[in-house]
């Protein structure tokens, strides 16, 4: 029966709000413009709530009066809502319907056109990709059908602003339309004249939308408010839930208003400083950096996608838009608002844009070991009567902690019910790999002789040009040197880190040792296993995954490399050359 159900066209014509997320683990979220954490004392407000209060429907009357006093307006001119989103949604439902229009300068806050479509309004887009507001183009679109005009200032995602003269001109040009002045980021402006709240309150057809989610650091509370003409606020009350804000959230906002003004002022100052430094760094790149007045910086240019992926590889999330062609090659980076987080961000950006060194795993990146090490695993298992396939090896490598092929072989045997010592497994493995057995002509037949180079020497020279390089491998020193000398590669790498030098990956020690010996801080590392990726990330090195030749499980392996934290996964390391400036 459910197949016979059909939602309204308003639902069918929109999609779920779902920003693209990188698969890498993230611990520094700079993709949602959330404010810095508040002092722990704010949470004490929760202790003031009695058990009896929790069973009562909430009231925002006290908060409404407090905010109205703050702006010197009547409480009837203000409505507390479940975030500014709730207030914007109410405005669309109150003013729009079939045949009515919202003028929407874009790119901007992407929920506004959704709210309009749900109310069966028509959205008219006007390009606002540059810093200057397109006033004349907006005015040209105004007609009898115009019911709402969206003004997000500072704009999200660009950070551009609207001036007082532009707001006045627009108000006069559209006397029958309500202007939605979204001031969610206004606390972050560094010029007082960009706060248009008092001016907007003097105009008959403007509502101001504010929030506690950004500068106040209370996004989880979902508390915002709208101010405007008393008659309009009354209409907005009619089209929304009567109890939209919980008592818990209201109490936390009360405490923040009482205790956090000094803290907010200091954190805003920190954000403004970070915004300036971050803009200066990005303006060195090809592309466009708008003059942002929000708690973020917007960059659109050819290196945006790589920056997004590279930062994710180091555990930092920034915002991108995979489904919006207007924002192709664009990123928005939230300012952390904390010195430690900002230092981490700037170092990560510098690493993405200008690495001092390139580190290479050896096996699967430079050396094709499908007929040597992997064949030795299969052959050693066969000597115990156990049949192992390439797919089995790929699966165990994808799980991690599998940088030592002797231990990988022992683990595979254990999975088949054989309890064999590592020493015995190693001896049989080495006989196959080193060729300690001889044929009738007494010529060595070790599997190592079947190893070939994956990239050409010329490819490696191009990747290494102008940067320091090192091999970071789990091979014994002797085996690594044999391969490098055999293929005339020793001159390309300043350092060689092997099994004898440090604990095995995923421990970051061998990667850190390579950085130390090279005398660098910023590097990329190319590896074919999740152990390479994890070791690099923990050493603050950007990890790049590569699929081995004839990878038996390419989709499976790619996903595991990405979820382990690889910035990107390539099939051929020649692709990496494009990302180097």
CA dihedral 377, 380, 383, 389 (to 10 degrees): 0
Helix (H, G, I), strand (E, B) or coil at 526: strand
Cβ(114)–Cβ(68) under 8 Å? no
pTM to 2 decimals? 0.93
Phi, psi of 75 (to 5 degrees): -55, -25
CA pair distance 517, 457, nearest whole angstrom: 24
Instruction: For residue 6, give every residue at least 6 positions away whose Cβ sits within 8 Å of its Cβ, in sequence order, or none.
Output: 12
Phi, psi of 238 (to 5 degrees): -70, -25
Domain spans, the chain: 60-245, 357-364+453-579, 370-450
- Give the CATH superfamily of 357-364+453-579: HAD superfamily/HAD-like (3.40.50.1000)
Number of Cβ atoms within 10 Å of the Cβ of 312: 26
- β-sheet bridge partners, residue 299: 289, 331
CA pair distance 90, 87, nearest whole angstrom: 5
Per the prediction, the chain carries an average pLDDT of 93
Q: What is the pLDDT of residues 305-335, one digit of tens each?
A: 999 999 999 999 999 998 788 898 999 999 9
Check pLDDT > 70 for residue 451: yes
Query: Strands 178-182 and 224-227, how do they pair?
Result: unpaired
Cis peptide before 107 (omega within 30 of 0): yes
| pLDDT score for 442 | 40
Confirm or reject CATH 3.40.640.10 for domain 60-245, answering yes or no: yes
CA pair distance 501, 505, nearest whole angstrom: 12
Q: What is the pLDDT of residues 147-190, one digit of tens each?
A: 999 999 999 999 999 999 999 999 999 999 999 999 999 999 99
Please report, rounded to a whole number, the percentage of residues in the chain having pLDDT higher than 70.
Answer: 98
pLDDT band at 2 (very low <50, low <70, confident <90, very high): low
Paired tokens of 2: 């459910």
Q: Which of 201, 206, 147 is nearest to 172 (CA)?
A: 206
For the CA atoms of the chain, what is the radius of gyration?
30
Helix (H, G, I), strand (E, B) or coil at 418: coil
């Amino acid at each position: 029966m459910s197949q016979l159900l059909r939602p309204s066209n308003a639902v069918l014509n929109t999609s779920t709000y779902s920003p693209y997320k990188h698969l890498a683990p993230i611990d520094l979220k700079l993709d949602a413009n959330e404010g810095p954490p508040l002092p722990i004392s704010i949470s004490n407000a929760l202790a003031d709530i009695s058990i009896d209060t929790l069973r009562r429907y909430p009231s925002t009357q006290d908060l409404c009066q407090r905010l109205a006093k703050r702006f010197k307006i009547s409480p009837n001119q203000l409505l507390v809502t479940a975030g500014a989103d709730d207030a914007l949604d109410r405005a669309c439902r109150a003013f729009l319907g079939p045949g009515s229009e919202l003028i929407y300068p874009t790119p901007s806050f992407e929920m506004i056109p959704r709210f309009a479509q749900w109310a069966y309004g028509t959205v008219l887009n006007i390009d606002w990709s540059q810093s200057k507001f397109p006033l004349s183009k907006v005015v040209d679109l105004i007609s009898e059908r115009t019911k709402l005009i969206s003004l997000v200032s500072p704009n999200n995602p660009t950070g551009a602003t609207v001036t007082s003269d532009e707001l006045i001109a627009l108000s006069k040009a559209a006397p029958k339309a309500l202007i939605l002045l979204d001031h969610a980021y206004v606390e972050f402006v560094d010029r007082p004249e960009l706060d248009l709240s008092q001016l907007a309150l003097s105009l008959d057809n403007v509502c101001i939308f504010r929030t506690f989610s950004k500068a106040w650091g209370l996004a989880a509370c979902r508390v915002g408010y709208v101010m405007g003409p008393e008659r309009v606020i009354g209409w907005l009350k009619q089209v929304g839930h009567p109890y939209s804000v919980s008592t818990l959230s209201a109490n936390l906002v009360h405490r923040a208003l009482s205790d956090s003004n000094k803290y907010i002022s200091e954190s805003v100052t920190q954000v403004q400083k970070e915004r300036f430094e971050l803009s200066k760094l990005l303006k060195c790149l090809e592309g466009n950096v708008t003059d942002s007045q929000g708690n973020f910086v917007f960059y659109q240019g050819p290196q945006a996608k790589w920056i997004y992926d590279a930062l994710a590889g180091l555990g930092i999330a920034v915002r991108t838009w995979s489904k919006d062609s207007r924002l192709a090659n664009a990123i928005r980076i939230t300012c952390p608002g904390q010195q430690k987080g900002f230092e981490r961000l700037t170092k990560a950006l510098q690493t993405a844009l200008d690495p001092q060194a390139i580190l290479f795993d050896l096996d699967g990146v430079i050396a094709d070991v499908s007929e040597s090490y992997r064949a030795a695993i299969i052959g050693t298992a066969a000597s115990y009567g156990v049949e192992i396939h390439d797919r089995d090896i790929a699966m165990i490598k994808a799980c991690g902690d599998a940088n030592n092929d002797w231990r990988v072989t022992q683990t595979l045997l254990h999975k088949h019910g054989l309890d064999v010592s590592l020493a015995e497994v190693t001896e049989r493995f080495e006989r196959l790999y080193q060729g300690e057995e001889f044929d009738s002509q007494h010529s060595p037949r070790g599997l190592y002789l079947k190893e070939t180079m994956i990239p050409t020497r010329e490819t490696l020279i191009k990747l290494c040009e102008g940067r320091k390089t090192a091999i970071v491998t789990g091979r014994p020193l002797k085996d690594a040197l044999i391969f490098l000398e055999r293929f005339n590669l020793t001159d390309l790498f300043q350092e060689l880190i092997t099994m004898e030098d440090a604990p095995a990956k995923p421990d970051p020690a061998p990667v850190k040792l390579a950085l130390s010996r090279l005398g660098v801080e910023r590097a990329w590392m190319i590896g074919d296993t999740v152990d390479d990726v994890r070791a690099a990330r923990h050493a603050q090195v950007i990890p790049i995954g590569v699929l081995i030749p004839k990878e038996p499980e390419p989709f499976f392996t790619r996903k595991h490399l990405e979820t382990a934290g690889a910035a990107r996964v390539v099939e051929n390391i020649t692709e990496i050359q494009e990302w180097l400036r």
